[in-house]
């Protein structure tokens, strides 16, 4: 399993957060997802054999939001230990 976080620009309300969450949950291979509205951050886990971080970025963009670019060093994807998978 992989864990990722994406910083989302201009997410101001719970409605915005729900829109982004729905976009993430629509991606094949998603495990869990949550939105931190205060930090404008989407955090999620996914099966890397079914999806890539790009799929989640594109889902957010397709839902009408902008993400911080890799050049802005706002995208963070890291491998997580399988022992944490069932938390």
- Rounded CA-CA distance 34/76 in Å is 15
Q: Which stretches of the chain score pLDDT less than 70? A: 70-87
Structural domains in the chain? Answer: 2-81 (3.30.70.100)
Q: What is the pLDDT of residues 24-40, one digit of tens each?
A: 999 999 999 999 999 99
Look up the pTM and report it.
0.79
What does the pLDDT read at residue 78? 45
What does the pLDDT read at residue 68? 85
């Amino acid at each position: 399993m992989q864990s990722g976080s994406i910083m989302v620009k201009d997410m101001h309300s719970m409605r915005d957060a729900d829109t982004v969450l729905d976009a993430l949950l629509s991606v094949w291979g998603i495990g869990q997802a949550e939105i931190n509205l205060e930090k404008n951050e989407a955090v999620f886990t996914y099966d890397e054999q079914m999806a890539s971080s790009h799929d989640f970025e594109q889902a957010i963009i397709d839902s009408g939001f902008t993400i911080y670019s890799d050049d802005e060093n706002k995208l963070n994807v890291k491998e997580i230990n399988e022992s944490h998978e069932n938390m």
